[in-house]
Amino acid sequence: MLKVIFDTDPGVDDAMALLYLHRHPGIDLVGVTTVFGNAPIEITTRNAQYLHQQWKIEAPIAGGAGRAYDDGRDAAHFAPVVHGEDGLGNIGVPLDVDHPLDERSATQFIIDTVRADPGNVTLVAVGRMTNLALALKADPQIASLVKEVVIMGGAFDVNGNVTPAAEANIHGDPEAADVVFTAPWKVTIIGLDVTLKTTMSSDYLAKMVEAGPSELKLLSDLSQYYIDFYRQRVGLDGMALHDSCACVYLTEPHLFEVRTGPVRVVCGGLADGKTIQAPDQVRKYVGSAWDGVPSQVVCTGIQPEAVLE
């Protein structure tokens, strides 16, 4: 079984990804850590508690960062237009959710869990990379103890979704993402290049709800607002399964095409949050910004129908 810590900012597509990890027979969800992003940290953490309560998920939840890695950065911008004011499609999540939280911070939870099982824990991060960067800062040695890091974020050969240059998870904390991508561990990055090609229509979702387990009723309810956003604002007949793509990659990597090379993030200016990969085969660039940066894996192609299935 693949042991996974899921670092998330629920978030509608985060909710689907959480259910996928919970129900997948080959995945052992050993913990969930929350981060600010789609909504403030109090809300994303409460949403994780709510989803655990409703779906009877037993993995511990540790609350994480509520602001950016770099103190000077104003990162208090959320996504109510995409995910609703409550982060879960305005379904009316109760203000108090009776579900326990781990006593540790997300950072400490990640460090402890990785150290307890060296080489066997995969980190899947589908929000801002703040918790991962803070864990690396507090305990740099975890880089060699983690099995793999899989993240949803970035836009390499396509435009971003917050600015023409930047995707939301990176734009929300570029310094943290740059720390994560340049650390000596294996990172696989699943960005808008592939996630925007993988959409689920409302018909598909309705058929799934009819045929599938009862958990899908809540997933369908909270997805309606997000589906409307994609229809009205993006012009897509279906919702993008951003975070689920990263989770499918864990057990079905053959459904993705990849490219390797060092990755860095633009921090500041017009292209703030832009992800750039220097392909390995053209390692001829001058300048210390790329010297010694390890190669990472960027997904450039996907088989959407198979991933959807």
Candidate segments 65-73, 163-171, 220-228, 295-303, binder of ligand BDR by CB under 6 A: 163-171
Q: For the chain, where are the alpha helices, taking DSSP H only? A: 12-23, 41-55, 80-83, 106-116, 130-138, 168-171, 174-182, 192-195, 202-211, 215-229, 242-251, 304-308
Q: How many residues does the chain have?
A: 309
CB of 44 to Ca ion, least distance (A): 9
Least CB distance from residue 89 to Ca ion, whole Å? 14
Q: Collapsing DSSP states into helix, strand and coil, what is residue 66?
A: coil
Query: Which residue among 35, 82, 93, 250 contacts ligand BDR (CB under 6 A)?
Result: 82
Partner interacting with residue 167 (select from Ca ion, ligand BDR, none; CB below 5-8 Å by kind): ligand BDR
Q: Which of 22, 83, 171, 242 is catalytic?
A: 242
How, if at all, do strands 27-34 and 61-62 pair?
Answer: parallel
Nearer to ligand BDR, 169 or 277 (CB): 169
14 contributes a contact to ligand BDR by CB under 6 A: yes
How many CB atoms within 10 Å of residue 233?
Answer: 10
Laid out side by side, the sheet with 187-190 consists of 61-62, 27-34, 2-8, 121-125, 148-152, 187-190, 295-302, 256-265, 275-277
Residues 6+ apart with CB under 8 A from 269: none
Of residues 82 and 302, the one with the C-beta less far from ligand BDR = 82
Judged by beta carbon, residue 146 or residue 151, the one nearer Ca ion is: 151
128 binds ligand BDR (CB under 6 A): no
Q: Is 13 near ligand BDR (CB under 6 A)?
A: yes
Asked if residue 59 binds ligand BDR (CB under 6 A), the reply is no
Binding positions for Ca ion, 118-157, rule CB under 5 A:
126-127
Out of 9, 14, 173, 178, the active site residue is: 9
Of the two residues 250 and 293, which places its CB atom closer to Ca ion in the complex?
Answer: 250
Concerning whether 228 is annotated as a catalytic residue, the answer is no
- In order, the DSSP letters of 185-224 are S-EEEE-HHHHTT-EE-HHHHHHHHHHS-THHHHHHHHHH
* Residues whose CB falls within 8 Å of the CB of residue 216, separated by 6 or more in sequence, listed in order: 19, 208, 209
User: Is 242 noted as a catalytic residue in this protein?
Assistant: yes
Complex with ligand BDR: residue 66 or 294, whichever CB lies closer? 66
Amino acid occupying residue 308: L
Active site residues: 9, 242
* Binding-site ranges for Ca ion (CB under 5 A): 9, 11, 14, 126-127, 243
* Binding-site ranges for ligand BDR (CB under 6 A): 11, 13-14, 38, 79, 82, 126, 152, 161, 167-169, 242-243
